[in-house]
Amino acid sequence: MAKTIIAVMGATGTQGSGVVKELLARGQFGVRVLTRNPDSDKAKALGVRDCAGGFDQA
């Protein structure tokens, strides 16, 4: 069965990165992130599929 995908907004921040790490550690979900700069070192360090965007584009 396919994993449920959870999208995390603000994934490169303190809280968001903690959420991403915990979700990945559990292994139950597919994780996607929304970040303003997907080419940043923080975004790349997450090691998950990302999408560029911000709250001002919602």
CA 27 – CA 42 distance, rounded (Å): 21
Q: Where are the domains of the chain?
A: 4-57
Pairing mode of beta strands 49-52, 29-35: parallel
Helix (H, G, I), strand (E, B) or coil at 13: coil
Quote the pLDDT of residue 28. Answer: 94
pTM: 0.79
Quote the pLDDT of residue 43. Answer: 86
- Give me the residues of the chain with pLDDT under 50, please: none
Quote the pLDDT of residue 58. Answer: 53
